[in-house]
Structure 1
Amino acid sequence: MNWEEYIQIWDTSWIQLADIRQHVIRRQRKQQHLLPASSFIFVVQGQGTIWLDGVRHPLERFFILHAGKGSTIKLEAGHEDVTYYYILYRGSIHTKASKAILKAYHINNPFQLQYACKPHAPVVLYRHMESMYEEWNRRQIKERFQAKIQFYQFVHTLVDQLQLQGVAPKDTDVVEQIVQYIHQRYHEPISLESMAEVWNYSIQHLSKQFKRRTGRSPIEYVIQTRIAKAKELLIQTDATVQEIAINVGYSDVFYFTRLFKKQVGSTPIQYKNKAKTGLVVSDSPWQEFLSSMGKNTSACYIDYDNHYRIKGEGDTLMLQGTKKTIGVTLMLVLTLLLAACGNGNTSSNNHPLAESTQNTPSNQAIEQTGLRKIATVMGDVNVPANPERVVVDWDLGPVLAVGVTPVGASNTQLEYSQFLKPFLDETVQDIGAEGSISFEKVVELAPDIIITWNKDAYSNYSKIAPTVVFDTSQYATIQEEITAMGEILDREEEAKQFVADFEKRKIAAREKIKNAIARDATISIVDYITVDKFLMVIGDMGERGGRAAYDILGMKPTPKVQSEIIDKEMSRVEVSWETVNDYVGDYVIILTVKDKKPPKLPATWTSLDAVKNNRIIEIDMEKYFAADSYSSLLQAEDIADKISKLVSTK
């Protein structure tokens, strides 16, 4: 970055002064700062030593240093006292800036650049600094505005001098930039694809560099940052778990709770209770994130954001267990790249084994290479015959239904598809959570074929292996879904067997209900445990048992559920407690969450006929989160059993 570009970015950015202080370090004493924002340090008296992220600089009169948020500054006075000014500010680019400036900002954020020097004409800078400090500490709006004006003059004068002296800023490396990007946007959707696009790197390169430096993938770091912030909010505020989940980037409070427990070892409520009693300990499979990021520090100026700072210490130890898999990954990526170069064509699915649409091989040629051509929503794709190594990021149930155990699946499905657990074994590898799949992990698994629901991820997946977008909206029935998966995975016979068995089991489950309740009885599915101040009513699509109850079991919804949810093709709606009588039927299925007490229910609920007559069927959210075809069948059988038992006990 040149200084002219630097000033252009400042000119198109929003700047906020956070604090201006004057510090004195007594001789032979030390101070340390873990910067909560971008900062200038301007020494006006004394000598000593200063370390910026471990890099040593001589500290002398009129020495100026700039560093970004999260940097560690250590100062040590020599044989005389050291006096310095300390400016903290925050800067962010305006979204309406030109594309060139936005690109320059994302490549080299000027508010994160590091530079240090002794200017040739420091007295002018000192006058700006002294005026700025005096105006700021009068603490009046007008004077603070004047301080901001002085701050701009200080920066302009400094850049002029640095440009004349030929001082070049030290570019923050990509990993540090990603860390800062995550800290600023942890509450927003973050994916490897979006980060790779910002820095114009391939996903594989970006992930490799980040993991080499930190010992973890970018998405793992996102998750840990969010969990660390959630811990802070749990301890320091009375925010509800749902409010905290949304604040740290998770719209589904149930998913957030499960993820929190996996990372920390306890639920958010359990963690909060432990904190109140002083019993919070590092009981997580991960090292306690806050302490590990800020260990061995004694900051003079600190906020919780900066505990997320990654240090280089311990990188070798963290990477010891990853050398083998990194080697395998690199070998596989190299193989794919060589194959792609040798192919000479851009394929229809970006995979080196697939031909371009302009040079489509004959069916005989495909058979000779062990490939099959199948039609998908993304066009024709050449896939292996009888694939053995399958990776699936969502539709785990249909894959298992045709007799295939995948080598990798998303942990969203592994954790929440509880009814499928008996059909899985420990060999299935976790490829990351839905929305933050680890592409490097997928590469390591060397799949024969990838099954995804996500059209946006298709391009990246297809660079690794033949990829099929499995769009369930294309199939009218569960039977069609399973038949399609059988064709994709070359398991047509297994698919036929499952479909035949499905029909028998569906009829048996419906007979159980038919013998237990009246044919015209209505049923509703509701959730008041994962939401606040209202009732969630479930339709016939999506998770939470809707597909199982209405589609497979053929149960009758109330007229309001039919017209307001099912007919409008909505998965669920949120209704006020005053209107629950319009939605709740003769029987009601209620979702529960382990270890979570239901809210105090109003009279409009307790006065319902279904509630007063105990026509309530409770189902576990953990088991009913998934909505795939196989899980839905197992859920339907479970509901039928529960209704049968409910009636038989009366």
Structure 2
Amino acid sequence: MDIEQHVRLWNQASIKILDIRHHVMRTGEQVKGYRLPASGFLYTARGSAQVALDGKFYEVNKLQVLHGGKGIGLDISGVEDCFEYYMIYYRASLPLPSSRELQALLEQQLPFHIQYAFVPHYPIVLYNYVTSLNQMWRQADALSKFQVKTLFYQFVHELLRQLDAQGIPTMKPNMVAQAIRYLNERYAEPIMVDGLAELLDCSAGHLSRRFKKETGSSLIEYLTRIRIHKARELLLHTDASLQAVAESVGIPDAMYFNRIFKKYVGISPGRFKTSYVHLPSDQYNATGRSESSIVRRTFRRYIHNGDNHYQYKQKGDSRIPMKPKQSITLLLMLSLTLLLSACSGTSNTTAASGNGNGSNAAQQTNSGQATQQPSTQEKVIQHAWGETVIKGEPQNIISLFPAATDYLLALGIVPQAASSNEEGSDQFPTYLADRLQGQKNLGWQVEPNFESILALEPDLIIGQDFMGESFASLNKIAPTLFAEKVKDEQGIIRMKTSLLKLGDMLGRTEQAKQVIADYEKLAAEGKEKIKQAIGDDTVMFLRLSDKEVRYYSKRNYEVLYDDLGLQAPASIPDPADSMQVISLEKLPSIDPDHIFLLSSDPAETTEMQKTEVWKSLKAVQNNHVYLVDYGLWFQGPGGPIGQTKIIEETVQFLTQ
């Protein structure tokens, strides 16, 4: 730990004391699987015990200090006679505006998340601060609460001084290890990536990327394999019904359980139970994979870093990843398709026109099929990931990401199959669902499922630009293009440029131009209506997450701050990134006239609305807070259909 940088961040941070608790444990009592709701200090007053922070054990005696970040696992055992300790929970965030250098330093140092345990040379000084903190915290008056903050800073100052003097090593938390432990312990409960990310105090995107990088698998894929493995054990070793097994592993829908089990194991759960009930575990591995330690057969207090890694992706490997059991059939299918294509000299084709005014475009039916005869024309498209050759006009087009689906639909192309709205979901994005009725749902495809894609025999695959690593594999299945969210020199995503680029590649430039013209007309009319209704009032778009609000700038929301000309509060400069975290306590100093609020948790929204801080905002007092649809307002920006609907809703909110 770089103590100078550590202290610098503590000095810059906005600190809020969340809770102070005093605990006394007796002989035989234990704490198991408790997750810290916030960053916190544990100070031992008397007695001894074994204390584990995320599986790392410490033999703890009286007058010792431990620290851990939000979401870290806490276990206490081995209590003899009694074990008395204090917990001090706090939240720390950098106030806005803060420099990019300071934000980078925060991510590098993680001062409020690192874990350590040490025996201070001068424990009584710290003990006095802790007991005074506990005493003041119990007082209800405002002056005592103010003194709590003063004492806390003195406690941290003394602790850091002793920590530096003693040269105590610290350990940054491994969020992937924490996530794996959580999945193994809580697989039977409903688990969403967003919720787990909030528990670990990070963004869902950051957690997903780290998890995939370290395990080779997506978080939801990993969780599903844990559940299926546990279900296999229950089917083999118990007489529980299929419904009971499904519920016990966190998949209460029996039909979905049957489908997902068959997908991973190769046969239905009922057939598996009757066929393999007498076989040892190493003879019923239907997937052909090694499955060491997917679910722990005996309780262990640590996580072995070699366990649970199902897939390893090597750079430069252009083979299509598939399950061994299914690969032969699917590769035969692919080979036959290529053979027939080579013999005929043509390929199945389509393109669809939204308006019917494209000279080289066929009219489209609701199923995405073209009514004219396929063309033999070949088109070679050069792009950042290589080269794509499209023969004729593809008929069976599939989309692997909501934004790409938005672009296609805007251009008049209804894909035969499209991705779902999020991980673990079988629903299309809410704002696109009416246009995709009757089309196949591919599920979440951020990490493409090559088998399911190959089985659809697509003529053209449309992915999103962040899928670049999968281009070679996808292009072996069918010609592949990526929709790009093009950014300008300021880093702002420009929808119109993005749409034109994809339109050019698909031969739909005129359709793209017409969509843009219609959009610009709608935006100009909406801008004028809003100007007449609210004048120069300020507007903020906020997302509620863990009692914090996240401010999104025009880097992601050009539709609000550029196209509709809404004014952000002057006290919030345009951040370097698309999103900035603002503590709830900072909002009154910004105090916008209007707030668009996005939240996926109604209970959290209700809790925030009850706070005096929230009630003090003039937007709240004037009834100018607008709760918006999560699917549209979080996934819609950047897409022409999404932004069109956002304009319509914004005008309605601000002019009603």
TM-score, reference length from structure 1? 0.47
Which structure has the highest helix share of the two? Answer: 1
